[in-house]
Amino acid sequence: MQVALEAEPVVDFPIADVATSIPERFEQIARRYGDRVAIRTRHRLITYEALNNSANRIARTILEQIGPGSEPIALLFGNGIDLISALLGVLKAGKLFVAIDPSFPSSRINFILKDTETRLLVTNSENTELSKRFGSPEVARMNIDELKNRQIDNNLGVVIHPDDIATIVYTSGSTGEPKGVVKTHGYCWERAKFNIKFLSVDSMDRLSLLHSISFGSGEINLYASLLCGASLQPFDVKSEGIYRLAQWLKAESITIFHCSPSVLRELVEFIPECNSLPSLRLMHLSGSPITRADFDLYHGHFSPLTSLAFHMGATEAGCIACAVVNHDFSFPARGTPAGFPPENKKVSLLDEDGREVSPGGVGEIAVKSKYLAHAYWKNPALTRAKFLPDPNGGHERTYLTGDLGQILPDGLLVHLGRKDLMVKIRGYRVEIAEIEMRLTQHPAVKDAGVTAWERDNGDKYLTAYIVSRGPNHATIDQLRMFLRDKLPGYMVPSTFMFLDSLPVTNGKLDRRALPEPNDKRPELSTAYALPTDEIEKTLASIWGKVLDVRPVGIHDNFFDLGGHSLSATQVISQVIKQFQLELPLHSLFQSPTVAMMAAVIRQNQAKRASQAELPQMLREVEAMTEQEAQRRLDEIKSAIAKT
C-alpha cells in the first residue's frame, strides 16, 4: 500500500498564512491572481478580481439594507458564479450564510428560514419568483442581478475574527427536522488549509464542483480552489447527465475531480480507456464508504498517473481520516478504508461505556481536536451530547460520530457501518427517523419503518415499510408525492412494502426482521399496460434493469418506480446507446413514462429520416419541369415544416 498523507507540505503558500477569516484570505488571493479565472461554468466565467468586486457590491448592499452585525442570510441559488459571489458578499459584510438548494421541498426551505430567523433572502433573477413562495412577509429579498451597474466595489474592511460564525449547514435530523451545524471562520479556514495540502492543490489546478454548497461536502473544493488561486468549475449532473460529465472532464482538462462513489459507478461506462482523461491527476471520492468494487473501477478505468483520494468526514468534524493511494493500494479484507487521521485530530474507538477499546477492537469512532464545528444551531442539549469537553480543561473537544470502526496495525482506520440510524444515500447524509416521522403524518399510514439495503454494486437504497390505517391503504405513488413535498429527493425511499404490522422486539422496531424487498412491480394508481411495439419493449427492459423492477408498464411513472436523478442518467445513457439519439437528461423528467418516452424517440427518428430524405428530393427537382418543380418544392416545404 502506498499512501501520501500529511508528509511535508506539498503546496507552497506564497502569501503569508496569517489570514483570520475567509474574506481576508480570499482578498489576498484576489490581489495576487486578479486576472486568473476563478470560476468557469458551461456558459460563464469570472476572474478573481471580478469575483471580488461582485462580492463587495453585494456586501455593501446587504449592509445598506439591514445594517451591520452578525446574523444569518439565506442564499437561494443553484451552484454557480452567482451563489459564490453572494456567499463571499455575505461573509465580507460580517454576516453568516445559509445556502439553500432551490430543489429542496418548500417545507424544508420554510423550516430553515424560520429556524435561522433570517431577515434577508438573497437570490438572482432566475430564482426570484421561486423565492416569493418562502418565508414570512417580513423577510426582505435581494436580487443580485440588479446590482451589476453599481460602481462601488472596493474591499469593505469589516473586521472578522476566527471565532465569528461563517455558515450554518443543515443536515438530516433524528428528531424529524433538519439540524443546523454552526461553523466558524477559523474552522472553515483550517479545513481549507488541510484540504489544499491533502489534495496538493496549486494555483494552476482546475477543480470540479458537483456537490451542492448547501451540504458540507460542497465546501471542500469551493474553499480549496478559491483560497489558493485555482479555478473552480461547477457542473450540474442532474441536468446535464453522466454521459456529458465524461465529455466535460476531458474538454475542460479537469485536474482534480471530486464525486461520490455512486457517480463514479456510472461514469466509468463513458471512460473506456485508461488514458482518456490525460489531465486528471487526482480523483477524490467521498460522501459514502468506498467498496472494493469502487477501487477496482478506479484501477481499471483510470491511468496509473491518476491518484485516488478518499476520506471519511462529517459536517461536524470535517475530515476524520483520509488517504491518497495509487493502483498498488491493498484494499482491506474487512470493512471499507477510511484513511489515516490528519495531524490536527486524534481518532479513538470507544466502547459503550466511553472507554477506548483494546488494539484491534471495534468501537465507535470519536474525534478529538480543536478544529471541530462550533455547535448545533439553537440546540445546546444536542451540542453537549455530541461534543464532549476536554476533561482536563483544554481547548480540544471530542465529537462522537456514531460510526463503528477498527484501526489496523499500520494505523489505517476501517469503517464498519453506522451505530445509530444515520445512513449515506448517494453521498447524502440521511437520518432514518426523519423519514419515518414524515410517513406517519400521512392520514392513511398507521405505522412506518425505514431501513437501508445495499445493491450488488455497493449502492445503498431506502425501503419504507408501511402499516396502513384501515383497509384502504395509500398507493405508492401517493406516498412518494406526499414525501416529495416534505423531504429532499434523496430521502424519498426507492421501494415501499405494505405489512400487517412491523416486527418488534422488546418494544422497539426490529429492523433486522424487516423483509428484504423484491423486484416486483409496486402497487401504483396506474394500471399495468404491456408494451405495444419494439421501442416500448426496449424502453421497458432498460427501465427494469436500471430500477430492478419487473414488469414495467408503459404508463408507469419512472419516479414512482423508485427512479431518482442518478438512475435517470443511467436510463438516458442507455437510450442514447440503443437508439443512437442525442437526448438531454431533462427529457426523462418531461416524459417520465415508457409510452411518453417512446413518442419522443419516434419523433426524433421521424425527424432524422425526413432530414435524410430532403437532399434526394432536391436532386429530383433539378430534373423536373417548372410546373413539376413547383409542386415538388411545395411538398418539400411541407416536409420541412413537419420536422
Task: Return the pLDDT at 1.
Answer: 39
Average pLDDT estimate for 408-433: 85
Report the distance separating Cα 329 and Cα 314, nearest Å.
24
Cα separation values, 407 from 352, 357, 542, Å:
17, 10, 42
Helix (H) or strand (E) holding 308: strand 307-314
Q: Over the stretch 533-585, which tens digit does the pLDDT of each residue have?
A: 999 999 999 988 888 888 999 998 888 888 887 788 888 888 888 888 888 88
- Residue 141 phi/psi, 5-degree rounding, is -115, 145
Task: Return the pLDDT at 15.
Answer: 58
pLDDT higher than threshold 60 for residue 642: no
- Residue 121 phi/psi, 5-degree rounding, is -115, 120
Q: Over the stretch 274-317, which tens digit does the pLDDT of each residue have?
A: 678 999 999 999 988 888 888 999 999 999 999 999 999 999 99
Pure H helices in 268-410: 292-301, 380-386
Query: Which residues, 6+ apart, have CB-to-CB distance to 137 below 8 Å?
Result: none
Q: What integer best gives the mean pLDDT of the chain?
A: 87
pLDDT higher than threshold 70 for residue 96: yes
Average pLDDT estimate for 254-265: 92
Cα separation values, 164 from 59, 168, 182, Å:
17, 12, 10
CA atoms within 13 A on the CB side of 157: 1
Residue 598 confidence class, pLDDT cut points 50, 70, 90: very high
Residue 623 confidence class, pLDDT cut points 50, 70, 90: low
Q: Over the stretch 602-617, which tens digit does the pLDDT of each residue have?
A: 988 888 777 665 555 5
Cα separation values, 468 from 438, 502, 613, Å:
14, 11, 58
Residue appearing with cell numbers 420554510: 110
pLDDT higher than threshold 50 for residue 151: yes
Query: Which residues, 6+ apart, have CB-to-CB distance to 495 below 8 Å?
Result: 461, 462, 463, 464, 517, 522, 562
Q: Over the stretch 444-503, which tens digit does the pLDDT of each residue have?
A: 998 889 999 888 777 888 999 999 987 778 888 899 999 988 898 889 998 999 998 888
Q: Over the stretch 5-34, which tens digit does the pLDDT of each residue have?
A: 333 334 455 555 667 899 999 999 999 999
Q: Over the stretch 196-228, which tens digit does the pLDDT of each residue have?
A: 999 999 999 999 999 889 888 889 999 999 999
What is the pTM (predicted TM-score) of this model?
0.76
Domains annotated on the chain, with CATH: 422-513 (3.30.300.30), 527-643 (1.10.1200.10)
Give SS3 for 603: helix
pLDDT higher than threshold 50 for residue 4: no
